[in-house]
Amino acid sequence: MADTTTKPMDTKDRRSFLKIGGGVVVGAAVAGVATIAYYNGVIGNNSSSSSSTVQSLSSQLATTQSQLSDTQSSLSNAQSTIGALNSQLSDTQSSLSNAQSSLSAANSQNAGLNSQLSSTQASLTSANGQISSLQSAVTSANGQVTSLQSQVTSLNSQASSLQGSVDSQAAFLTLNVTEQTELLAIASAIIPTDSTGPGATTAGVAYFIDHQLKGLYGHAGNVFMDSPHIPANTTGPITVNDFEGNPVTYTGATVTFNVGSTSYKVVYPATGNVRVGAGTRYQYLWDMREYWRLGLEGIETYATAAYGGAFETLSAANQTACLTDLWNNKPTLAQFNDILPSDFAYELFFMVWNGFGMDPVYGGNWNMVGWKYYGFNGVNMGNFFNEGLTTKEIMVMTKPVTLNPVSLGQFQKGSV
């Protein structure tokens, strides 16, 4: 008969069971079937209590295994989540590194901006000081502008008055249109308006000559016009009439003229080519108006023949060359209406310079531009404009002083 008494579990076997059971709970390292077989070998197949215990343990094992499987699945998910988190952490660390680099660059830029801001603030402070100074200068300038505007108003009034005077002078009285155009060009060629100062046109020289030709000068007033007239460059004997109409042969010796019972002796040189500028220069039958007409006509004839056009149409260089030719007597007497070209050249230059430098009361030197140009003071003796100088002080000065010019008209009226 079989022994049904429950055999106490050997201590070694108990340890193995606990070890195996513990291993299942912790790690589930042994398969369920093998475990049950093991239990059956140790406990016995006929023990109902053991069988029940085994079933209970098997059930617990199955539950534990299911829990373990769930735990493993959760662990796998957790590991996957950890991997994703690690990837996110890596990305975050990379972003953080980039952010730190950007922050470092921003800090550097901020330092530069702070430096620029400091420099800008210093510049602004300096600019504010300059603005303040400029505002002060503007205030001063506005005061000066007000003063200048007052002066301009006064000068405009004077200019209007002077313009009225000029308008009354700027009209030709004698010369025809062709002569006017030619004389304006000739005068401008002799004294041009350029960077050094005003010229003949500004001074109204052509109008001065025209007005002189209208008056005594043009009609040979106060000039001895009777014979004998000895043409220039005359050589050999010529016959002229004395004051009583008696013919006298000129041989270069002393010639006696009888006026009533009185005899006059006149000595003529062997040639009539007298010194330029001498009163004996003019040896022609015409009055000055006719002399100028013939002379201007001669210049046009010669300019057309020698330079291809009327004088006023020539270039500046050719105008100068044409005038130089007059002094050298290059035009023929036929071209120049029997006038020696150098004779007319002398009269031409003499009158142009008179118009530029004479007192304005004679009709030229408008607004005293000629006097202002070469520093002539007219009749200002040192204090006409309250300069505070006496004539004696001016005479003993070691350096010349330039005074504002005064014309005879201003001096007589006692005002500017």
CB of 300 closer than 8 Å to CB of 182: yes
Number of H helices, E strands in the chain: 12, 4
What's the pLDDT score for residue 18? Answer: 47
Read off the pLDDT of each residue in 97-124 and give the average, rounded to a whole number.
Answer: 78
Domain ranges for the chain = 11-164, 175-224+285-413
β-partners of residue 240 are 248
What's the pLDDT score for residue 266? Answer: 55
pLDDT band at 242 (very low <50, low <70, confident <90, very high): low
What's the pLDDT score for residue 236? Answer: 62
Q: Does position 329 have pLDDT exceeding 60, yes or no?
A: yes
Q: What is the pTM of this model?
A: 0.53
pLDDT band at 151 (very low <50, low <70, confident <90, very high): low
pLDDT band at 113 (very low <50, low <70, confident <90, very high): confident
What is the number of residues in the chain? 416
What type of residue is 316? A
What's the pLDDT score for residue 19? Answer: 46
Q: How many CA atoms lie within 13 A of 330 on its CB side?
A: 15
Comparing C-alpha atoms, which of 308, 405, 363 is closest to residue 172?
Answer: 363
H or E element at residue 256? strand 254-259
Lowest pLDDT segment from 185-194, 307-316, 373-382: 373-382
> How far apart are the C-alpha atoms of 267 and 168, rounded to whole Å?
48
Comparing C-alpha atoms, which of 277, 284, 167 is closest to residue 230?
Answer: 284
Tens-place pLDDT, residues 197-223: 999 999 999 999 999 999 999 998 887
What's the pLDDT score for residue 273? Answer: 47
